[in-house]
């Protein structure tokens, strides 16, 4: 919370070259299945939350932008490729999973369902394993060193020493 009790959210890309801070209430949270959102995210659908009514600051770096149509731009980290924004004349939305704490930003509507991929609804019913569930088939996991930016702001990134 800020001094005047406005909520504060932080987040950024995977590599940490781009970081943002949002002060104020978030707007509608959604997923979009449209083909443009699939391509822009390299994924089955794109979860976004509107920051139209809040104050957004880029606290480190800024996204590179691709104009995906005459109506919108898509922002992403030029260093690591993480999708970060959807920007149109009526405001900006941020990729929900780019927030440091995305668990509290639950989508409330699906858009673009005419393009929904046929297996998406079945994913929740697939067999499920935790990351370390079969470490023998991926032994590198046991000694994994993450180079991903942590889920909080940092004074310096990357750290000076990296193994």
* Helix (H/G/I), strand (E/B), else coil: 113: helix
Bridge partners (DSSP) listed for residue 104: none
Residue placing its CB nearer to Zn ion in the complex, 121 or 129: 121
Rounded Cα distance between 148 and 80, Å, is 10
Rounded Cα distance between 157 and 140, Å, is 24
Candidates 47, 57, 41; CA nearest to 9 is 57
Least separation in angstroms between residue 127's CB and Zn ion is 29
Q: Could you say which of 43, 59, 65, 80 contacts Zn ion (CB under 5 A)?
A: 80
Q: Does residue 79 touch Zn ion according to CB under 5 A?
A: yes
Torsion, Cα of 66, 83, 29, 116 (10° steps): 80
Least separation in angstroms between residue 139's CB and Zn ion is 28
Least separation in angstroms between residue 18's CB and Zn ion is 5
Stretch 25-64 residues interacting with Zn ion (CB under 5 A): 32, 34, 37
Residues that bind Zn ion (CB under 5 A): 13, 15, 17, 32, 34, 37, 77, 79-80, 112
């Amino acid at each position: 919370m800020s001094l005047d009790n406005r909520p504060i959210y932080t987040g950024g890309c995977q590599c940490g070259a781009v970081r943002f801070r949002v002060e104020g209430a978030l707007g509608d949270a959604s997923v979009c299945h449209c083909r443009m959102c699939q391509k822009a995210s390299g994924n089955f659908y794109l979860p976004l939350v509107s920051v139209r009514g809040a104050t957004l600051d880029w606290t480190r770096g800024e996204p590179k932008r691709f104009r995906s149509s005459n109506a919108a731009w898509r922002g992403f980290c030029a260093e690591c490729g993480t999708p970060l924004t959807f920007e149109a004349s009526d405001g900006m939305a941020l990729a929900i999973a780019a927030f440091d704490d995305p668990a509290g930003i639950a989508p409330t509507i699906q858009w673009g369902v005419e393009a929904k991929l046929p297996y998406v609804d079945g994913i929740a019913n697939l067999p499920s394993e935790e990351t370390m569930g079969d470490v023998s088939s991926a032994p590198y996991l046991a000694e994994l060193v993450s180079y991903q930016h942590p889920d909080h702001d940092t004074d310096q990134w990357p750290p000076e020493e990296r193994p």
